Structure 1
Amino acid sequence: MPGSPQRPAVVTRVSDLIGHTPLLELATTETGGRLLLKLEMFNPTGTAKIRMARQMVADAEAQGRLRPGGRIVESTSGNTGLGLAVIAAERGYTFTAVVDGHSCPDKLRGMKALGAELVYVTDDGTGSLATAAREELAERMARGQDNTVFTEQHNNPSNGVGYVPLAHELADALDEDIDVLIGAVGTGGALCGTTRELRRRVPRLTTIGVEPKGSTAFGGPAHDYHQSGTGTPEGAEIGALVDFDLIDEGVKVGDVEAFATCRALARTGLLIGGSAGGVVHQALTRLPGLPPRTTMVALVNDGGEKYMDTVFNDDWMRARDLLSPETEEEIEELLAKLRGSR
């Protein structure tokens, strides 16, 4: 049966540190159910997306589309760009990140620190989300240029392939005892790529996709939202990697609930990102109603350290009418009840 190879005790590149991220048991039920968090913030750059960044570059090299001294171009809200910046720095490529003002400032600063060139499609500091414009500009910048690749994360099959090791890490660590997988749906690569491979070993797996309210992948009205790096905003096409045949149920979580969950978890010692807050909120509220001895795994694809200026900033939250101490208290009470059953 396939498995994920163990990491050597000593590695020679930052990208060799990708994977083998830990599982944290966050909550249990009196009937033996449990919620486990796959903490992908323990990857370099603090996010799962470096997994697929490495795969997209490796496949472009293998196909002869990217050669020494080449250039990588990507439209990114931050985390994919951070991953590509690391891989480009290791392999001697130039990386251009096409961004908008919706990204958390720390992500933009991180990409720049890693040597990336930032090209804005909106005025710096406006806070506007402009996914469609980003994609159009990135494609145009790479078109016809020698030794230049637009990695096009939303439609690149290598994105999903990059999460094959993640599926095996879960199956190996839990001896295939996984009933429910829940995760955010942005490009679709992480959740659908993991599900596709994991079902080869766990055919009974149920998969739940989570997107922000205002995102359009699961229908409903489109409107602005503040969970960065996830969802399908108004005007953007649903990426080819979002495979609805692999998602048993699609749900939406609002910014207030997602961010309140991040803030409540921070007071237990765990910092997670905004979209991960939406995933954990949905997982916590569902856990008590699941059948006995159900194991639910939530993909926590992002850490919270990049969100000190936003999710964990009272002034920023208050200015956007997102601060809700009442919701935070409700989540704390639910978490205390579930943690008390352990």
Structure 2
Amino acid sequence: MPGALQRPAVVTRVSDLIGRTPLLELAVTETGSRLLLKLEMFNPTGTAKIRMARAMVDAAESGGELRAGGRIVESTSGNTGLGLCVIAAERGYTFTAVVDHHAAADKLRAMRALGAELVYVDDDMPGGALHTAAREEQAEAMARGADNTVFTEQHNNPANGVGYLPVAHEIAEALDGRLDVLVGAVGTGGCLCGTGRELRRLIGDLTVIGVEPEGSIAFGGPAHDYHQSGTGTPEGAEIGALVDFDLIDEGVKVGDVAAFATCRAVARTGLLIGGSAGGVVHAALTRLPALPPGSTMVALLNDGGEKYLDTVFDDDWMRRHGLLSPATEREVEDRLTKLRGNR
């Protein structure tokens, strides 16, 4: 049997390619503390969320909610939907994604290409704002009372967190159990909390840092719109049951300007990362120099930057939304240059 870091030479399904994603050393301090990136964009569909998509469908099948020829419904900003597209296609289900125009256009196009039915909740609403609560209500209504139809409800589905247990095992195996800090985005809470809880079981003491956009409400503070998609809890939406505040040692907010400037600075090292991943890396780089000598920090990066070429990596889009900040990009670049020089 292959270990957590190995894959069979030949697989028979796309979902067999899930997991075993690499760790990349991004930065090292003068005292030998290092920042490693868990590159979840190396999963099929380019995102971590295919892990929990499979787990949620597994749970629905084992619980008898979903049978042959059934239908899956989910409210999604794209990445969970992409994962459900793959699992539905492999297992012969219909998938309906309840979406809004806030999602990256490439994610919406990719879901449609993979066979999903897209239902928009904001066709008659201006501005492309985030409509999480409306999406959730629509998805629930579509599944309610329908035969052989399941609303996977990612924000409150325990299988979401279960889907990320292999991430913890991959990290623990790769680092031989030597890990001090885990940093990740807090959206549904499944990835960070599922991984963090299992890592604490596997290796013991561990600091867990959650990151959300400024404007998100999970860690308090004023609510307002933000452009980091697939993360955070916007005003009007409920904080998901999977967000375990007892597990998270520190909650950090990173604004769009800093998150996207970090994406653009990291791209100049040769790596494209998504918008919420930029927030995670920004928080990690800020805290890395204060760690005890020889510490290891792992940042969970849930997707890559290829889906954001028309937004985060487009100067005109950034300028129109008041997010372009060459000064902030230079600040991140300078920090990276210094830290990478210690490697």
Deviations 1:143-186 (A, max 9, x none): 00110000000000000000000100000000001000000000
Instruction: Give distance in 1, aligned partners of 2:10 and 2:182.
Output: 32
Q: Which amino acid aligns with 1:17?
A: L
Q: Residues of 2 paired with 1:78 and 1:50: CA distance?
A: 11
| 1:7 CA displacement | 2.1
Residue-by-residue CA offset, 1:74-101 (whole Å, 9 max, x unaligned):
0000000000001001111000000011
Q: Which residue of 2 aligns with 1:341?
A: 342
2:92 and 2:196 map into 1 onto residues whose CA distance is 33
Matched, 1:38 2:38: yes
Identify the residue that residue 76 of structure 1 maps to in structure 2.
Answer: 76
Most deviating of 176-185 and 118-127: 118-127
What amino acid does structure 2 have at the position aligned with 1:61? E
Q: How does 1:221-300 map to 2 (within 5 A)?
A: 221-300=222-301
d(CA) in 1 for partners of 2:246, 2:212: 16
Report the equivalent of 2:313.
Answer: 312
Aligned residues: 340
Give secondary structure in 2 for the equivalent of 1:118. strand
- In structure 2, what is the Cα distance between the partners aligned to 1:202 and 1:317? 42
Q: Which runs of 5+ in 2 are unaligned?
A: none
Residue 56 of structure 2 corresponds to 56
Offset at residue 202 of structure 1 (A): 1.7
C-alpha distance in structure 1 between counterparts of 2:166 and 2:268, whole Å: 31
Q: Which residue matches 1:88?
A: 88
Q: How many angstroms apart in 1 are the aligned matches of 2:129 and 2:4?
A: 40
Q: Find the counterpart in structure 2 of residue 171 from structure 1.
A: 172
1:5 to partner: Cα distance: 7.1
Asked if 1:47 is matched to 2:47, the reply is yes
Is residue 265–residue 332 contact of structure 2 (8 Å, CA) maintained in 1? yes
1:178 corresponds to which letter in structure 2? Answer: L
Q: Match of 1:149? A: 150
After superposition, the C-alpha distances for 1:117-151 in whole angstroms (9 at most, x for unaligned) are: 00000028842210000000000000001100000
Question: What is the TM-score normalised by the length of structure 1?
Answer: 0.98
TM-score if structure 2 supplies the norm length?
0.98
Please state how far the C-alpha of 1:6 moved relative to its aligned partner. 3.4
Q: Distance in 2 between matches of 1:283 and 1:27?
A: 10
CA distance in 2, matches of 1:239, 1:69: 29
Q: Which residue of 1 aligns with 2:205?
A: 204
Q: Residue 7 of structure 2 corresponds to which residue in structure 1? A: 7
Deviations 1:251-298 (A, max 9, x none): 100000000000011111100000000000011111111110010000
Structure 2 counterpart SS, 1:201: helix
Distance 1:94 1:219 in 2: 38
Shift >6 Å, 4+ stretches: none
Distance in structure 2 (CA, Å) of the matches to 1:19 and 1:173? 13
Paired letter, 1:116: A
Give, as a single letter, the amino acid of the residue that structure 2 aligns with 1:301.
Answer: N
> Aligned equivalents of 2:158 and 2:304: distance in 1?
25
> Match for residue 192 of structure 2?
191
Query: Which residue type is aligned with residue 4 of structure 1?
Result: A
Q: Which AA in structure 1 matches 2:205? A: R
AA aligned to 2:146 is Q
Instruction: Give the letter for the 1:254 counterpart.
Output: G
Partner of 2:130: 129
Q: For the residues of structure 1 that align with 2:262 and 2:31, how far apart are their CA atoms?
A: 24
| Percent identical | 81
What amino acid is the match of 1:295? T
